[in-house]
Structure 1
Amino acid sequence: MSLFHLRPLGRYLVILLLIALPVAACGGLPGSAPTNFYILQTTSELKTEGTPVQLADGATVGIGPVQIPGYADRPQIVTFGSGSAINVSDFDHWAEPLSDAIKRVLTSNVANLVGAESVFSYPADFRPDKQSLQVAVNVIDITETGTGVARLSVRWHVKALYDNKVLSRHAKIYETPATPGDYNSYAKALSQLLGKFAQDIAASLNGLNLSS
Structure 2
Amino acid sequence: MRGWLGPVAAVAALVVVVLGVLYAGGGRPGGVDARILAAVEGTGPRARHIALATDFLGEPLGAAILVAAVVAGCLLLRRPRGAVLAVAGVGLAVVTTRVLKHLVGRTIHGDENLSYPSGHTAFLTALALVVTLLATGRSGLGRTAGAVLVLLVALVAGVAMGWAQVVLGAHYPTDALGGWFTALAVIPATAWAVDRVAGSGPHRTR
What is the TM-score of this pair, normalised by structure 2? 0.33
Q: Which has the higher helix share?
A: 2
In terms of Rg, which structure is larger? 1
Q: Which has the higher strand share?
A: 1
What is the TM-score of this pair, normalised by structure 1? 0.32
Which is bigger in relative contact order (C-alpha 8 A, separation at least 6)?
Answer: 2
